[in-house]
Chain A
Amino acid sequence: MRFSHKRVAASTLLAISLVLATVAAQAAPFGAPHPTGGTWPQSSMTAWIFAQQAAFYRSLSGFIRASKDDGSAMWSLFGISFLYGIFHAVGPGHGKAVISSYLVANEETWRRGVTLSFVSAAIQSIVAVIVVAIAAVLLGATAKSIGTTVHLVEIASYGLIIMIGLRLLFVKGRGFLTALRAFGWREPQLEALFTTSTGLVKLSVDRDGSMSHCALCESDHAHTFHCHGDDDHEHHESAWSHAHGPEPAELAGAGGWRRGFAAVVAVGLRPCSGAIIVLIFALAQDLFWTGVGATLLMGLGTAITVAAIATLAVAARQTAGRIASARSGVGMLFMRAIEVGASALIAAFGGLLLAGYMASEQLWMFTG
């Protein structure tokens, strides 16, 4: 029985990892090198998505040009932009992996997952519009300075993702250790006796870092230690008790929106290079507002893809939760472990992205 449970748990674990990771990137982010050449196997979904997004992107310039003289071309442009957003977002970036991990770590609901996906995609589009509006329209900046601006915004975004990941890791790590302790692994790691003005104090620190102090009070004739552990405090499961931050449980409620907002801002800050290029191209044709419309529709398409992947993540987490709840002790520990893993992934993604920026090549490949 125990064995089979482990097997089920292990496969669920695998499924979650897949959702967090592989599914988010299942389709390759690479535009077909030669979309017209038909060199990609038709059987592959990846290849198809690939070819579609590259073809859509390349057709955008024609539609933008055409909409100068022909109002109806604008609607085609918007349609293509929307489709491009859907297909393009299957590739890396656009925060799918981070948002999915965030949803798993925080035991979020489907509704919140979808909302966060849409908000982050909206922020992403709006940031692109703002960057181009200020840098190109108002200041007449060169591609080089726009590239630098995007670069800085990216660094800020990745830094925030790392911070969110580390913060979650801290909170969830504590939760995991608490669950571990409940499971019967409690061992004080360090004990020290201090003589203070009020008497003898025994201080012990557990392996999870929780501290308890026991006072042998002189006035107490029974000469017993009165122990006060972290558990006596109100926020016993959270590292944020000292910072008076919200409990993990609160995140799922109304108060959690602020926390969720931080995550979507971190993810959404980084504008998509494609959107910037499309906006500037539109601007060069004196069709800035058409470009803005196209960018917003791209964002809507992106939101749909991200929300679909977020839905998978939430569903996987709920399945795991159902299996885990059948066994209170192990199950609890298992879920906490998943949360820790998801939090670690967020931090890792942030770290990789930040490291990537240094060796990364984006818009500034040619323009410095």
Chain B
Amino acid sequence: MIKLIRAYACAVLMLSLPGAPASAHPHVWVTLRSEILYASDGTVTGVRHAWRFDDMFSAYALQGISHAKKGQYTRAELAPLAQVNVESLKEYDYFTYARGDGKKFNFTEPVDYWLEYANPALVLHFTLPLKTPASTKAFQVEVYDPTIFVDFEFAKDRPVALSGAPPQCELTVDLPHQPTPAEQARLSQLDFAPLDASSAYGEIFANKMRVTCQ
């Protein structure tokens, strides 16, 4: 009997323990276009993003934003919302993760950000400067949401561009790979062991851009 109780206590514990936060329903879809920026000396200085939100989320984000003309929003009218966007994204590291030669690179706060309304979708433009310019042979940027609440997808045509890169640099774009059975199994346990922002699980679904310079 005691064994039984112990077994149950153990089962309960196992079910309740795994971790904190966040259930994941994707309710935001982002179509992604990015540019990797280079200085004239061949170092990477940052990443410029243009994120197009799906039309339902765009309508949600536009709710209550005052605008002069129905169905139109000017850049100025959207400026406060763009400000809120980039401020909110800070907590999530802008969903942008850069690495090179086995090292992680950090970004500073975004610059040059604005929202564009291309009916029916909102497009968020912003530039993430690297804290220190990277002079690596291999540079990689991943865009994903660790909690998989936001679904990122590369745009169909020209998803990534290099701006001012040395001619010997070559760009490769990797789409999210097919989950392995183990990753599939993890997916089905999200209710008990939800993903939090520190989890690397969402990386499976990362959109990867890699640049190698010989």
Contacts and interface: CB of A to CB of B under 8 A. Distances in A.
Contacts of B190: 25, 28-30, 91-92
Interface of A: 6, 9-10, 13-14, 17, 20-22, 24-31, 33-34, 37, 39-41, 44, 46-47, 54, 57-58, 60-61, 88, 91-93, 97, 136, 140-146, 183, 272-274, 276-278, 280-281, 283-285, 330, 333-334, 337-338, 341, 344-345, 348-349, 352, 355-356, 358-368
B15 interface: yes
B20 A359 contact: yes
A134 to B, nearest CB: 13
Contacts of A362: 27, 149
A290 to B, nearest CB: 14
B148 A14 contact: no
Given A277-B57, A345-B16, A365-B150, A337 B4 contact: yes
Interface string B176-193: 111100001001111110
Contacts of B45: none
B22 A356 contact: yes
Given A24-B191, A280-B63, A361-B197, A337 B5 contact: yes
Interface of B: 1, 3-5, 7-9, 11-12, 15-16, 20-29, 53-57, 59-65, 81, 84-85, 87-89, 91-92, 124, 145, 147-151, 153, 175-179, 184, 187-192, 194, 196-197, 205
A366 B62 CA distance: 11
21 contacts: A10-B4, A10-B7, A13-B4, A17-B11, A17-B15, A25-B188, A28-B187, A47-B184, A91-B24, A91-B25, A142-B64, A143-B63, A144-B84, A277-B27, A277-B57, A334-B4, A337-B4, A359-B20, A362-B27, A366-B53, A367-B85
A140 B114 CA distance: 23
Contacts, number: 216
Given A17-B15, A272-B25, 19 more contacts: A13-B4, A21-B191, A29-B190, A39-B179, A41-B178, A41-B184, A91-B190, A92-B25, A143-B60, A278-B56, A280-B59, A285-B59, A337-B4, A337-B5, A341-B12, A344-B12, A362-B27, A365-B92, A366-B28
A361 B92 contact: yes
Nearest to A342: B12
B191 A29 contact: yes
B21 A360 contact: yes
Given A25-B191, A91-B25, A143-B60, A344 B149 contact: no
A46 B20 contact: no
A76 B147 CA distance: 32
Contact of A39 (B89, B178, B188): B178
A292 to B, nearest CB: 16
Contacts of B64: 136, 140-143, 145-146
Contact of A14 (B11, B192, B194): B11
Contacts of B196: 356, 359
A363 B21 contact: no
Contacts of A58: 29, 54
Contacts of B151: 31, 33, 54
A284 B63 contact: yes
A44 B190 CA distance: 16
A356 B63 contact: no
B192 A13 contact: no
Nearest to A34: B153
Nearest to B146: A361
Contact of B20 (A145, A278, A356): A356
B73 to A, nearest CB: 12
